[in-house]
């Protein structure tokens, strides 16, 4: 029961914000495309978890608590372990799922739905 409550607390703000943004859009994208983007986001999260696990095995200093890392290790961890992997994964899946879609008539649409 506690897990269900945590899931609801986690998903509810995202759902409310998504509905709010979708409602404000004058030229709405199809629900099929938005579902495709949602699935892509889930896949991106799974890939990030997988790649992060590999990085932790390959670079032992990434296993240290970030509060205890020296500045060089923290910079490498931030740029490689966080930025490159997470943002690169999101970009890849967003591109694969929607770049050729004619419904994205504004660049801003892709930015909003990627977030």
Distances (CA, A) of 1 to 4, 7, 8, 15, 95: 5, 10, 11, 21, 37
Crossing angle, helix 31-58 and helix 107-114, to 10 degrees?
A: 60
Contacts of 94-101 spanning 24+ positions with Cβ under 8 A: 94/37, 94/40, 96/40, 97/36, 97/37, 97/39, 97/40, 98/33, 98/36, 98/37, 98/40, 101/29, 101/33
Full DSSP string of 85-108: IIIHHHHHHHHHHHTT-TT--SHH
pTM: 0.72
Please give the pLDDT value at position 100. 78
Please give the pLDDT value at position 47. 92
Q: What is the mean pLDDT of each run of 10 residues along the chain (115 residues)?
A: 85 84 80 83 88 85 78 84 86 84 74 72
Please give the pLDDT value at position 34. 81
- Report the C-alpha gap between 84 and 5 in whole angstroms: 32
């Amino acid at each position: 029961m506690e897990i269900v409550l945590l899931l609801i607390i986690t998903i509810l703000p995202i759902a409310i914000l998504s509905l709010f943004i979708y409602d404000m859009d004058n030229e709405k994208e199809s629900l099929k495309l938005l579902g495709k983007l949602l699935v892509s986001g889930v896949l991106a999260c799974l890939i990030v978890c997988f790649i992060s696990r590999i990085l932790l095995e390959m670079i032992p200093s990434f296993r240290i608590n970030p509060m205890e890392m020296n500045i060089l290790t923290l910079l490498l961890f931030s740029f490689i372990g966080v930025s490159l992997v997470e943002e690169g994964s999101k970009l890849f899946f967003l591109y694969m799922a929607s770049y050729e879609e004619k419904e994205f008539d504004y660049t801003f649409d892709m930015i909003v739905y990627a977030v």
